[in-house]
Structure 1
């Protein structure tokens, strides 16, 4: 039987990663990119080009990791009964703690002004409800 809570949590991970990459490209990296270039290279006084490049790569790594977690959660939502329960419990608990810690970090780091903390919190709550 499908676990709807985990499915919703997985979908939220995908949506959060997508929004993170798209909005970040528009709001942060758009003005730092030379026309026709994929990777931004317009550094500034306090930010060298090589640092900007790794910030850009790391920005998108966060989205990729979110999609990976989302894929795990969707898989678990569809096939929980056929998966090893001990490793599954570990993965679910680790992911739940990670989502709550991420929520707290974004909440504190942005003084509550970035809505990402709400999505991380909601994912954590869904994982608790589904477990």
Structure 2
């Protein structure tokens, strides 16, 4: 029982940290960076550079939330299938970010989609 509450507490702390990471990073890093004229053009132009920085920053938060969800899975005793499903869903969420922020020009979304699909497939087929 103590272990469960400690893991859920850790998940809550991690979730709050990731929320702060995304919100404060957007406000104090990404927005000021996006106004600079001296950014190198990635994937064709400067706006895509900002898109890459934005999705890379927020993927950290999505992955941290995925870790928090895994801690909750462990605390709830969902077993390995539940943990693998959570990892798959986290990968799907990570795939969305480069699709949105670079309009699919950064290829990482393909790898996150494949990894997520494989995890979900294993979690429902075993």
TM-score (norm 2): 0.50
Preserved contact between residue 21 and residue 60 of structure 1 (Cα < 8 Å): yes
Whole-Å separation in 2 of the counterparts to 1:47 and 1:17: 28
Alignment of 1:1-131 (within 5 A): 1=1, 3-32=4-33, 40=34, 42-48=35-41, 49=46, 50-77=48-75, 79-80=76-77, 83=79
Deviation at 1:44, TM superposition (A): 2.6
Whole-Å separation in 1 of the counterparts to 2:40 and 2:15: 30
Q: Which residue of 1 aligns with 2:101?
A: none
Bigger share in helix: 2
Preserved contact between residue 11 and residue 72 of structure 2 (Cα < 8 Å): yes
Preserved contact between residue 11 and residue 74 of structure 1 (Cα < 8 Å): no
Whole-Å separation in 2 of the counterparts to 1:29 and 1:54: 10
Moved over 6 A (4+): none
TM-score (norm 1): 0.49
Preserved contact between residue 43 and residue 52 of structure 1 (Cα < 8 Å): no
Deviation at 1:43, TM superposition (A): 4.8
